[in-house]
Structure 1
């Protein structure tokens, strides 16, 4: 199944079930399901059964292309990102394989949906793209979970663009500040449930395209730490909860590693495409004074 999060006429995020090029408001069709993805997962809603019932019903359909989309999880409890999680990206950054994942967090004000503008900061010109696979946790992950059991807690997968303000990222040993400017985390447009993909979403082609030109082109199999191992490592430290998001790092080809560097500019369009999941598109607009 595929889900999305769209904005209602009053600007509230609503969980939508994707049916081809149309969307069913799942809460409207199945009132027992909370109206938001995180709330539905926290409540333990059986989204597979509710979705099947909605698809079989005469529930109203909305054209997907007509909807304003929100980040898939507008307010995750945690958004945990990995740096240097592809061998080729670590190499292009002048580093060998890290001994442990480089984890950092993103805040909710950095997140935007498909079609929304990524915000080129007024204080920097070094605005970069990063194509990434993201996953949404569907059920509480017990501490010290094994890799063998980790994937049963993944609800689904989507696209993410970890847009990065490189000069601010490099101002401190911690990357947080360069990864949390407002409106720099593209997230969507749809979430594909885990049962539709290979375990850990391996073997999927992942690309970024800037103004139609392919900049990154790799496979999710090339990740250093796969999804199961990442969840197991995180569970040694903290509790992963329904609606938490993990963003799995980017392959080689980012703008800062090119000669000369390629920075996103006002008017650009950046696309993140992941095979069997979808394409996330965000125009780039300069921050208004």
Structure 2
């Protein structure tokens, strides 16, 4: 079972897909948001689907794919969480999770065009496993307690403007992470019970040429550790999105050019689907 949201921006229909058939979730909820997740929405959706209570969503394959959950209140990111990526960035592997934030308006659909902001010359891609929180997590007692607070998993492209992140940052990476649309997310939210987050293969390509190819087993800090660790410093709320870090193979390595208008980025994580988005110039207002 995979949750998704389909339709125009701001008018997305909550849906659930199983066996290639997409069903309308509106008999259960107006949206896939924190309230839905906190009220055992995934379990209720699974039960309603099994009972045949959800109608088929006609023409689902013709609808735009939005982010699989409504705009989160917080997007929390982990830096340099793969040792090889830390090395290509010129850094030692961290001994404690590096944390930065993205603006919630970075979260867009997995196939939406991404506008390159004016003056952005070093836009980079980053395929990441996204973790969506399902229950409030604050000062969890252990990493073992973290899993019951995870609603599910998705794909995120943690797009970055490296000059803003590194050269103009003042030590705060978020400057280079918050361009509007800089977190294409989805297409699916796959329930946590259906995913082994420790052994997923994740890949990226630009214009059909391979870039990243790794497995989540290479993460320095796994999902349970990250959720527990974050909960010691902030209250994670239902619907919040955690981006768990990216493997090697980004433009920052110097091996590949940065993104330009017209480039197409494709990302895939085993069991979580694929996303494809084009980079476009930002429209001039007026």
TM-score, length of structure 2 as denominator length: 0.92
By how many angstroms is 1:263 displaced?
A: 1.1
Matched position secondary structure for 2:36: helix
Q: Matched residues in 2 for 1:144 and 1:36: separation?
A: 25
Q: Matched residues in 2 for 1:235 and 1:165: separation?
A: 28
Mean Cα displacement is larger for which, 274-283 or 10-19?
A: 10-19
Q: Matched residues in 1 for 2:82 and 2:54: separation?
A: 45
By how many angstroms is 1:162 displaced?
A: 0.5
Residue matched to 2:103: 107
Residue matched to 1:212: 208
Residue matched to 1:6: 6
Residue matched to 2:140: 144
By how many angstroms is 1:34 displaced?
A: 4.1
Matched position secondary structure for 1:225: coil
Q: Matched residues in 2 for 1:163 and 1:121: separation?
A: 12
Runs of 4+ in 1 over 6 A off after TM superposition: none
**Taking structure 1 as reference, are residues 134 and 58 closer, same or farther at Cα in structure 2, changes over 3 Å only?**
closer
Give 1:81-96 correspondences, 5 Å limit.
81-96=77-92
Does the 8 Å contact 2:128/2:202 carry over to 1? yes
Q: Matched residues in 1 for 2:35 and 2:91: separation?
A: 40
Residue matched to 2:190: 192
Does the 8 Å contact 2:124/2:162 carry over to 1? yes
Residue matched to 2:262: 267
- How many residue pairs are counted as aligned between the two chains? 281
Alignment root-mean-square deviation, CA: 1.7
Is residue 288 from structure 1 mapped to residue 283 from structure 2 by the alignment?
A: yes
Residue matched to 1:161: 157
Q: Matched residues in 2 for 1:150 and 1:218: separation?
A: 24
1:180-210 Cα deviation digits (max 9, x unpaired): 0111111000111111112xx1111101111
Residue matched to 2:173: 175
Matched position secondary structure for 2:136: coil
Is residue 240 from structure 1 mapped to residue 236 from structure 2 by the alignment?
A: yes
Does the 8 Å contact 2:25/2:54 carry over to 1? no
Matched position secondary structure for 1:282: strand
1:148-167 Cα deviation digits (max 9, x unpaired): 11111111101000011111
Mean Cα displacement is larger for which, 162-171 or 119-128?
A: 119-128
Does the 8 Å contact 2:32/2:68 carry over to 1? no
Q: Matched residues in 1 for 2:30 and 2:57: separation?
A: 18
1:49 pairs, out of 37, 44, 55, with 44
By how many angstroms is 1:286 displaced?
A: 1.2
Q: Matched residues in 2 for 1:108 and 1:11: separation?
A: 14
Does the 8 Å contact 1:5/1:37 carry over to 2? no
Residue matched to 1:18: 17
TM-score, length of structure 1 as denominator length: 0.91
